[in-house]
Each structure stands twice: as C-alpha cells, then as structure tokens.
C-alpha cells in the first residue's frame, strides 16, 4: 500500500515509525509543517516528523498553506497514493486533496469521536474530568473531525494522569490502530460508521487565559485544569509567576484513589477554612494545602519563574511558607 504521511508533532511519530517498520506499507513522501523557531537561541528547528523522515531518507514537503501550494498539490497528485494518513498535521485539507488517494484520507484522532472534535482533544478531555478516552480512525471529509469512523480503541484516564502521559499512551495506541485500520481497509473488512453529530463536543485551540488558575473554582476542577493543560497552568505568589504542574484534591470522595502516593496520610487531615487561594496548611513532606472555592488542593510540584521545577516539599522549605498568611492569586 502506497502512503503519503501528513503529521507534525511527537504524537505522530509512533504512527510513522509503525508504518516504516511494516513490510506491507511504502511511505512515498511526508508532509509536515514548516520549520519553526524554538528554544532560547530562537533556532529554526524541524518538526519531530521531519527529523524522522529525513533519517529514513524520505521526501519531505513543507508547504506554508497546503491548500494554495501548487507545487505540493502537483506532487501529491503524481504520487498516485493508495491512502493519505493524517496524524496531528495542523492544517485543513481541501476537497481536492481529500479526493486524491484511492482509499481516501485516514485520520488518527485522539478522542472517542464524536466527543472532542478539534485541535486539543486530549487536553480538554482531562480538563473536563473524563475517566476514559481513546483513539478513533476515520475517513476524512471537509468538516473538522466529522468524517465516518472506522475503528476505535479505549484507554482509562486515572485521577493523577496528565496530558503528557495520556498523549504518550494514545500515540502508541494510535499507531497500532492505524495499522489495523489500513489492513482491514485494504481487505474490505471494515465498514465506516457515520458520527452522531448530536453527541459531538469540541476541543478548541488552547488560549493563554486558559492556563491561569481561578481559585474560586473547586479543588477537583483546578486539579483537572492543572493536569489537562500540563505543564503550563500558573498562579501568582508573592508577585511572581508560579507554575503549578501537579496537585491532589484533598477530598474524601477521591481519597481511596490516591494510594499510589505513599506519602499521603491514611486518614484525611482537616484544616481551618481560609480565603480562596490562601495556603491554609502544610502536609509534611508533601506540599502546601490551598483553599479553593470548594475543597482543598495540595500542591505536589511547582516552578517559580526563572527556577527549576521542584516538589511541594522543597517549595515550602525554599520560600518559608507561612500557613494562614501566604496567598495565591
């Protein structure tokens, strides 16, 4: 099966690797986003998919706007590919491109469609407290993740899982599911199922304001925000930006799920209620306890501006926290 692969970030790498390692597929070319400037040196760096493609001496095409890139469109037509595989490419494909391959364009999407259509399905599924997510392969159409579904695979979301961990798990799961999908598609053993649009939810691009913590929200809502938008959620502490990258809701309903954290006391401690964002207590060897709009939140890992990430315990010692006095905003 002749394939053109469209993808950009690390999430797409396992799928391209799986295709390259299978004797049943031939990667004709790779389409990825243009190189971007990153890091302290503001260097122009290739995408993870481009790096992998070049290691395998594959042709790499990087149009700025694929819909209007005449040279790339001409090349795509000339490939006479059986299928275009799309994994987190980052651009919308035109009807002209969707009609090119013999078997169509297959997308590997990081949610159980029709839930969480859009750019950031993994992040928003955790943010909204979902306990399960997965991968859906689908036949692409002109809509945003609206195409008919082919296969799905499910995975649980634990209370302490963050977006990076779930993304890593789903990227491997997506690679396996894509291989199975293509094999069944070639053998005509698979039937596409239309999505029920009445059940659709959306996962838009994350905006800067989404990362700021609002302490009037509940402890579980903030916890889900921190792990869903990991590692970039922040608050302010003593007029400095404080990134908060790991938390635990100090709520009896969730207490039994926290056995993996051996430092957590066996019995639920009590603290006097404070104002929203106030540090009302300290769990010894664990971290500070913050009052939220509903319940308490333990800070397990934080990062002050210009500093390295540190545990809640080290944060307490480093800044000499004063329970009942210090405040987050």
Annotated binding residues for (6S)-5,6,7,8-tetrahydrofolate, written as ranges, equal: 111-114
Residue 328 CB burial class (10 angstroms; 0-12, 13-18, ≥19)? buried
Question: Distance (Å, rounded) from C-alpha 173 to C-alpha 134?
Answer: 8
Question: Distance (Å, rounded) from C-alpha 12 to C-alpha 14?
Answer: 6
Helix (H) or strand (E) holding 252: helix 252-255
Number of H helices, E strands in the chain: 9, 17
What residues contact residue 176 under an 8 Å CB cut-off, 6+ apart?
Answer: 18, 153
Annotated binding site: 111-114
Q: Cα-flanking dihedrals φ and ψ of residue 209, to 5°?
A: -70, -20
| Residue (of 135, 130, 309, 125) closest to 206 by Cα position | 125
Question: Distance (Å, rounded) from C-alpha 92 to C-alpha 244?
Answer: 34
Encoded tokens for 195: 């999505």
Helix (H, G, I), strand (E, B) or coil at 256: helix
What residues contact residue 155 under an 8 Å CB cut-off, 6+ apart?
Answer: 132, 133, 134, 166, 169, 170, 173
Residue 179 CB burial class (10 angstroms; 0-12, 13-18, ≥19)? middle
């Amino acid at each position: 099966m002749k394939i053109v692969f469209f993808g950009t970030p690390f999430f797409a790498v396992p799928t391209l690797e799986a295709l390259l390692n299978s004797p049943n597929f031939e990667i004709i070319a790779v389409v990825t986003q243009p190189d971007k400037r990153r890091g302290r040196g503001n260097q122009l760096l290739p995408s993870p998919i481009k790096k992998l493609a070049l290691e395998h001496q594959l042709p790499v095409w990087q149009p700025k706007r694929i819909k209007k890139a005449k040279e790339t469109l001409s090349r795509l037509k000339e490939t006479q590919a059986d299928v275009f595989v799309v994994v987190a490419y980052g651009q919308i494909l035109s009807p002209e491109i969707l009609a090119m391959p013999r078997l169509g364009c297959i997308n590997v999407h990081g949610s159980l469609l029709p839930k969480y259509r859009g750019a950031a399905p993994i992040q928003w599924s955790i943010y909204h407290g979902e306990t399960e997510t997965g991968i859906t392969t689908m036949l692409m159409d002109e809509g945003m993740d609206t195409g008919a579904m082919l296969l799905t695979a499910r995975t649980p979301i634990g209370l302490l899982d963050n977006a990076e961990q779930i993304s890593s798990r789903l990227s491997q799961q997506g690679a396996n599911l894509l291989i199975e999908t293509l094999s069944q598609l070639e053998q005509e053993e698979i039937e596409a199922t239309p999505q029920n649009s009445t059940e659709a939810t959306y996962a838009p691009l994350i905006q800067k304001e989404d990362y700021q913590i609002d302490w009037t929200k509940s402890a579980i809502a903030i916890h889900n925000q921190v792990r869903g938008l990991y590692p970039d959620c922040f608050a302010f502490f003593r007029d400095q930006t404080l990134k908060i990258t790991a938390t635990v809701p100090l709520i009896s309903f969730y207490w039994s799920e926290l056995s993996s954290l051996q430092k957590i006391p066996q019995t639920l401690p009590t603290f006097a209620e404070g104002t929203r964002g106030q540090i009302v207590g300290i769990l010894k060897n664990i971290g500070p306890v913050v009052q939220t709009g509903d319940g308490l939140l333990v800070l397990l890992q934080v990062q002050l501006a210009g500093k390295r990430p540190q545990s809640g315990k080290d944060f307490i010692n480093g800044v000499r926290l004063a329970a009942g006095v210090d405040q987050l905003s």
